[in-house]
């Protein structure tokens, strides 16, 4: 087993290729037009245009109608089922506890409990809202909601 010295390190064979020298004669394979073809805007120096430019024609992104938007508030809100609360090991549940348990994402700021599934133990919800049905189910199990 030979130990490689720092002064003898070199790239793996075939990993480095020589750079392409365009416009340097017939023998290079990229002489004369230098791989740019004949005539036209792209063949000339400085002959590139901005992204989406269609030669003066009204570009596609301006021809299409403006329609709708994505509300960022939907990323801040999350819904939690009663069955997910039932599975949590803690009795005092707030947004932070739900984040740590992985029930809601880390960007979530507002959580609402919906009536889906069963809740058979006493839990206290702090800073979490609930639908009317979910509130009734939590209170029926002996729990409470603190806004």
Question: 76: how many CB neighbours lie within 10 A of its CB?
Answer: 12
Which domains can be identified in the chain, with CATH numbers? 74-146 (3.100.10.10)
Q: What is the pLDDT of residues 113-137, one digit of tens each?
A: 999 999 999 999 999 999 999 999 9
Phi-psi region of 39 (alpha: psi -120 to 50; beta: other; left: phi over 0): left
Please give the structure tokens belonging to residue 58. 């009204």
Please give the pLDDT value at position 85: 94
Q: Which is it for the CA torsion 132, 138, 142, 147, positive or negative? A: negative
74-to-71, 109, 145 alpha-carbon distances in Å: 6, 10, 23
Which of the four pLDDT bands, split at 50, 70 and 90, describes residue 5?
A: very high
Chain mean pLDDT for the chain: 92
Q: Per-residue pLDDT tens for 9-37?
A: 999 999 999 999 999 999 999 999 999 99
pTM: 0.53
**Percent of the chain's residues with pLDDT above 90:** 81
């Amino acid at each position: 087993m030979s130990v490689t010295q720092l002064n003898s390190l070199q790239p793996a064979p075939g990993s480095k290729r020589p750079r392409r020298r365009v416009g340097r004669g017939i023998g290079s394979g990229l002489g004369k037009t230098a791989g740019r073809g004949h005539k036209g805007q792209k063949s000339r120096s400085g002959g590139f245009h901005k992204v989406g430019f269609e030669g003066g024609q009204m570009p596609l992104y301006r021809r299409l109608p403006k329609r709708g938007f994505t509300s960022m508030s939907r990323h801040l809100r999350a819904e939690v089922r009663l069955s997910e609360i039932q599975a949590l090991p803690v009795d005092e549940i707030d947004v932070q506890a739900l984040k740590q348990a992985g029930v809601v994402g880390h960007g979530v700021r507002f959580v609402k409990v919906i009536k889906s599934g069963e809740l058979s133990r006493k839990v206290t919800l702090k800073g979490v809202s609930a639908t009317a049905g979910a509130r009734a189910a939590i209170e029926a199990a002996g729990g409470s909601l603190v806004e």
